[in-house]
Amino acid sequence: MRLQKLTGGEFRRGHDLRAIRDLISNMSAGSPQALIDYVASMAAQHGVPHSVTGELQPWPRRLIDTLPTLEL
């Protein structure tokens, strides 16, 4: 499709943000942080898809998440 080649994605220009806004509104009562927490929880439990194969892999913990366990 020509539009996808121009924008480089699956959405028309600007419609990706509209989809994200709708997702926040419908899934997390309008709270972006609640949606982020939910996605992070699901990723920790089930893994994240590999960017090429799509197979689920363990979720890499961010440094900020490991700070409380570090002995300084």
- Using the 8-state DSSP alphabet, how is residue 13 labeled? T
Q: Walk along the chain (72 residues) and give the pLDDT tens digit of each residue.
A: 444 455 567 888 888 899 989 989 998 888 998 988 888 888 888 988 888 899 998 887 665 565 555 454
For the chain, the domains span: 2-69
What is the reported pTM? Answer: 0.59
When computed from its CA atoms, the radius of gyration of the chain, rounded to whole angstroms, is 17
- Rounded Cα distance, 13 and 23, in Å: 17
For the chain, the distance separating the N- and C-terminal CA atoms, rounded to the nearest angstrom, is 55
